[in-house]
Each structure stands twice: as C-alpha cells, then as structure tokens.
Chains A and B, each alone.
Chain A
Amino acid sequence: MSTTTIAAVDVELNDEGFFVHPEQWTEEMAPELARREGIDTLSDAHWQVIRFMRSEFFAKGTGPTVRVLGKTSGVSVKELYQLFPKGPAKIAARIAGIPKPRGCI
C-alpha cells in the first residue's frame, strides 16, 4: 500500500495500483490515472465504461468482469479491448478508482 498524489490529492493505492478507498476518487483524477495506464485521452466510450464500473461496484460490492461489461455496459467485448488493450475490467477499475474485479469468467 502506498500514498500517491493524483490530481493534487493524496490517495491510497494497493500494491497492484488499485484504490483502497474508492470514495477518495473524483472524476478529475481519471485522466491522470488513464495516462498512467498508457491511455492518453479518455473518449466518451472510455467514460461510459468507467462510470459503469463505479455504479456496478457501489451497487454490488465488486466491479464487473469483461464478460459482464460486454453484456451490460453497452460496449462490446471487441471494443472494450480496443479501449483498454491491457485488460478492460482491470485497467478500467484502476482508472475508475475501484478494487480489482473478482471473477473467473
């Protein structure tokens, strides 16, 4: 666990770079978090996924897997991997300030 400054605010990240306290996250932090993941600009589709990740997390206690994202976020699996090539659910969770989604499928 470490304290990192994102958009001029100190936040706690775990060893894998996920937020320890999702409530510390603000939308202003997303562009900087995205750049850390190699994503230079956040498109509307990126935002659609990020907002969906957060609403799912707060509703269900865990973020959605890629399969769930593909079925319910309105963004297809193919497009999800174009938006987040290094793993849609994992990378979007980092940018959305929620813990890593747990699920095998």
Chain B
Amino acid sequence: MADTAKPHPIEKLSIIISKGSLDGVYPGLIMANGARAEGIDVDLFFTFFGLDAIHKERHEHIKMATVGNPGLHFVTMLGGLPGVSSVMTHYMNHKMEKLDIPSIPEFVEMIADTGAGLYACKASVDLFGLEKNDFIPQVNDIITVGEFYEKAAGGQIIFT
C-alpha cells in the first residue's frame, strides 16, 4: 500500500462502559453516539458499575466522582464531605444542559434509537444479583465475555 493511500475508515466499534460515575459513563456514550452519526456500527457493553447506566432505578441518579478525582482540583478531603458529590453532579448536569447534552437516561435511549446494540455483562449481572427486568427495555441481552468477543469480531474495541 502506498504511503499516500487513505487509511481504511473505522466501520465497527464495541465500546465497553465499566464505571458508574457521571464522568465514567458520559465519554463512552458520547463516543458511541458520535460513531453512529458517522455511520459506524456500534455495540455498547456495560460491565461492573457501568451497569448503572442501563439500570431502571439507578440511571437517573448517576453522580460525579468527587473522591479520588484529581481532575476536580480541590482538596481530597472536601470531596468526601456529605453532599459534595450531589452538588458537583448538579453543577455538571446544569452545565451540560446548557450545552444541550442529554441526561444519561435520555442519551442511552437516543443511542438505542440510532440502532446501536446495548448489552449487559453476565458476570457483573450475576455478581450484583440482577436480572433482565432490572434494566431499561432498550437492553438487547445479557451476554458473556465470550459472546461479547464474537460480537466484536472484525471491529475495534474501546474500553472506558
């Protein structure tokens, strides 16, 4: 292949969301939505605390991580005080709303509407004692890691 040849475009992505904080969930959702907008096939795989993003009761209450998050640039002890996480979450949500970034429940629903697949990790579902009913109806299936790799075949994997 000549050096001047255009690189082959990305056609398929599998994005893993493994964290249950606001700052842990959004990046994967933004990348998934953006990929669909480019016409890239996307499957989202929720594992460990990332499952909260598709959990019926919990997905509206995802909070900013204020402890052990040096990116916030304030004293670690302050982040652990009662209410600080809620206040920071409220502040972030307000800022995002101004930029017209959808809430997590709305965003996940929109991504499902784009035709992306939503999957829950079986090991984590078993670990937390959950079942299909605990998740929003857009979730396609609960799958094993092996099934995830089968689905991911031929594409690229992003872990968040």
Contact = CB atoms under 8 A, between A and B. Distances in A.
Query: What is the size category of the interface that chain B forms with chain A?
Result: 10 to 19
A105 B39 contact: no
B78 interface: no
A76 B109 CA distance: 12
Contacts of B38: 87, 90
B39 A67 contact: no
B113 A81 contact: yes
A78 interface: yes
Contacts, number: 43
Nearest to A65: B37
B72 to A, nearest CB: 22
Given A86-B39, A87-B37, A81 B114 contact: yes
Contacts of B33: 66-67, 105
A68 to B, nearest CB: 8
Contact of A105 (B102, B113, B115): B102
A86 B115 CA distance: 11
Contact of A88 (B37, B100, B101, B110): B37
B34 interface: yes
B36 interface: yes
Given A68-B100, A87-B39, 6 more contacts: A66-B33, A70-B113, A85-B115, A87-B36, A89-B37, A90-B38
10 contacts: A66-B36, A67-B110, A70-B110, A76-B113, A77-B110, A78-B113, A87-B38, A90-B37, A90-B38, A105-B99
